Amino acid sequence: MIPITVSHVCRFWRDLALHTPTLWRRVTLDWRLRMWAHRIHRARACTLDIQLLPRYSPRTRRTEVLDVHAVQLYMHVVTPHIPRWRSLEIRFYSYSPYLWNAALSTCCGYTPALHATALRELSLIYPSNDDTKEFTLFNGYAPRLRRATLWGVRLTWLPSLFENLTFLDYTHHGFTHGHDAAYEVIRMLQVSARLHELRLAFPWRSSAARGRPRRPPALLLVLLHLAPRALRTLRLLARPGALPRARTALRALPDLPLLEQLQVQHAWLDTRLVFPLLHSLPRLRHLALCGAAVTGAFLRGLAEVLRARRAAGRLGVLELVGCEGVDAEAVVGLVACGTRKGMPCADALFVRDCAGVDVAALRWVRGAGMVVRVWVHGTEIALGRA
């Protein structure tokens, strides 16, 4: 509500606000439809940032639950202005049937009036979606679209819509599995061949986690068909749980000769995967390990691996994040193991929110050939004052 606040300061500021269209471009849809229609009028020919988000009420301490009728009513205010959309963000966190159909049906059709000629960013998130309908947005035309964040929605992946993407954060809808899901994503990536950053996730089914699947999961199949040799940063993220056999995952990962930063989280923290992978990354300079699977034994093995690859140059930063299974003795042992043999395993060690680490016990490591920094609840702690 910034433009309204500005316009109430004084007469001069009011006149300035009313004649600055960019102040009115953000439209966050809710029941105040006449107000939002008036703001669109105030924006004049300026492009629009459209948001449809559940509202949080501080009074009731609850988030609004949107239904089909409300969503249709809200979207009818902005769909006549699709050519002016600069960004579209829709998020649904509570389940209600046919929400995507209500929100996106007016964006689908076969008329040039639906062409999103100014659209640069698209964000569609509905994790609980169970509607398998596939949507062809904007009559298949959004030439300026560069960023897309998608979760729980099925879209027709046309070159005229998505070939110019440079950023894609995609969580698979889950309506296809195994080879079918992998083929669908591979075809998407062939269309969006200009990506600079890709974040890819597949929903993990509990039924698959109970037993070893007969086929590799879709994520590994997609990795087998990728060849990102110029990749500089890789994040292997997962929720706590079990992945398929580590050797299967290791074989699926492509060659990454230029990789400089690696983050490994939770279920990926398998020594049979991480340690061989480190040997294959000659330019690695920043390694981040996240999760309770990192223990004292893990760190001892890691120190040996890092020293064995010293011909490629040692790490610049080793980072431990949320490693509840690590205590101060394990961290001190990691530092001491390297310094005793005259080769610290990294130039710097960062310890972030590791609850088991006693900060006071780390004071001596400042002179051990490594820079050690510690954060507790997001705040850096000075070791000299611990």
- Percent pLDDT > 70 in the chain is 82
pLDDT at res. 153: 95
Answer yes or no: is pLDDT of 8 > 90. Answer: no
HEC string of the chain equals CHHHHHHCCCHHHHHHHHCCHHHHCEEECCCCHHHHHHHHHHCCCCCEEEEECCCEECCCCEECCCCHHHHHHHHHHHHHHHHHEEEEEEECCCCCCCHHHHHHHHHCCCCHHHCCCCCCEEEEECCCCCCCCEECHHHHCCCCCCEEEEECCEECCCHHHHCCCCEEEEECCCCCCHHHHHHHHHHHHHHCCCCCEEEEECCCCHHHHHCCCCCCCHHHHHHHCCCCCCCCEEEECCCCCCCCCHHHHHHHCCCCCCCCEEEEEHHHCCHHHHHHHHHCCCCCCEEEEECCCCCHHHHHHHHHHHHHCHHHCCEEEEEEECCCCCCHHHHHHHHHHHHHCCCCCEEEEEEECCCCCCHHHHHHHHHCCCEEEEEECCEEECHHHC
Q: What is the mean pLDDT of the chain?
A: 83
Minimum mean pLDDT among 89-98, 154-163, 376-385: which range? Answer: 376-385
Q: What is the pLDDT of residues 99-116, one digit of tens each?
A: 999 999 999 999 999 999
Q: What is the pLDDT of residues 151-202, one digit of tens each?
A: 999 999 999 999 999 999 999 998 988 888 889 999 998 899 888 888 888 8
Q: pTM value?
A: 0.73
Answer yes or no: is pLDDT of 59 > 90. Answer: no
